[in-house]
Amino acid sequence: MRLLDFLFPERRNTALVARDRLKIVLAHERASRDAPDFLPALQQELLDVVGRYVEIRDDMLRVNVASAGETSLLEINVELDGANIKPVKNGAAAETKPKPRPVPIARPDPSSPPPWVKPG
């Protein structure tokens, strides 16, 4: 058999590999193509906040916008390593009294009041 394999090497069908790789990469790119421009910034800020409490890597938090008909859905998926949540050492969760800290909030106009302030 080894001799046969040597004489007639089975050539890998690389075209199929190309097809499958393209399908995967394009599915991903099409999903993010129509996404609003603020998504990367939103994802980074969410990562910062979650990262203050639990150990998290960049690829464990995904933000997506999907729309169907009249409805848009902002989808935030946070996947955590393993079965147990690992709190960050000396992170915000370990502090007995959480310090009041200025929370960075993205607002279109910094001078305008935040949306939860009642006008007047």
We find the least distance from the C-beta atom of residue 45 to another protein, in angstroms, to be 26
We find the least distance from the C-beta atom of residue 100 to another protein, in angstroms, to be 44
CB 85 within 8 A of CB 54: yes
* SS3 call for 2: helix
Please give the residue ranges that form the binding site for another protein (CB under 8 A).
11-16, 18-19, 21-23, 25-26, 29-30, 33-34
User: Which string of DSSP letters, residue by residue, matches 4-18?
Assistant: HHHHS-----HHHHH
We find the least distance from the C-beta atom of residue 21 to another protein, in angstroms, to be 7
Please choose, from the candidates 42, 49, 28, the residue with its C-alpha nearest in 3D space to the C-alpha of residue 98: 49
Tell me whether residue 22 or residue 78 sits nearer to another protein (CB atom): 22
Q: Would you mind telling me the total number of residues written for the chain in this entry? A: 120
Tell me whether residue 11 or residue 99 sits nearer to another protein (CB atom): 11
We find the least distance from the C-beta atom of residue 103 to another protein, in angstroms, to be 34
Amino acid code (one letter) for 65? V
Tell me whether residue 10 or residue 58 sits nearer to another protein (CB atom): 10
